[in-house]
Amino acid sequence: MQYWLMKSEPDDVSIDDLMAAPQQTTAWYGVRNYQARNFMRDRMQPGDGVLFYHSSCPEPGIAGLARIVSGPYPDASQFDPDNRYYDAKAVPEQPRWISIDVQGTRKTRLLPLAELRTIAALDDMVVLQKGSRLSITPVTPAQWQAVVALLA
DNA sequence: GCCAACGTTGGC
DNA sequence: GCCAACGTTGGC
């Protein structure tokens, strides 16, 4: 059981979208960064906890909690020439990119980035480090507990 | 829109 | 393998 922070642009998939989906579950596709892909492929497990973060929006911050509910499988968008995430170098025999299913657990109050930066227990959180842009980052159990406590 | 930081590409 | 050029992310 591990914990993660996943970024999403709310104009693309918001916490409300996640909670409104059938079974509150959404296929996570379009990740086109190798480090993030490797986390999904090699380390994420069904049951893992997710801090759901809104990025590139007026109020960036944690907007809800979610969990991983599938293992890795090929991201279909890489094979579709009409899709914005199409990858001409990907072939079905050798998929480059993968998806996992994410299930919303609950929408929380918006915990703004600026507030996260004031919490001493979160000083080492990967997403708060200078220059950190990765869309999927690991969260320690202590960091998870600290965030959940703030959202209680 | 700006810009810092990081990732990817491709010539050599 | 190096590294310059370019592209992307994402807060502000």
CATH number at residue A41: 3.10.590.10
As a whole number of angstroms, the distance between CA A152 and CA A149 comes to 5
Pairing between β-strand A49-54 and β-strand A3-8 as defined by DSSP bridges = parallel
Nearest protein residue, CA measured to C1' of B8: A33
Our measurement of CA A34 to C1' B7, in angstroms, reads 10
Our measurement of CA A113 to C1' C11, in angstroms, reads 10
In this structure, what token pair is assigned to residue A35?
């480090």
pTM value?
Answer: 0.95
Q: How many domains does chain A have?
A: 1
Subset of residues 9-38 in chain A with CB less than 7 angstroms from any atom in strand B: 33-35
pLDDT in tens, A78-106: 999 888 999 988 888 888 999 999 999 99
Those nucleotides of strand C lying less than 7 Å from any protein Cβ are 8-12
pLDDT < 50 positions in chain A? none
Full domain range(s) for residue A123: 3-151
pLDDT of residue A15: 98
Closest CA to A136 of A109, A108, A102: A102
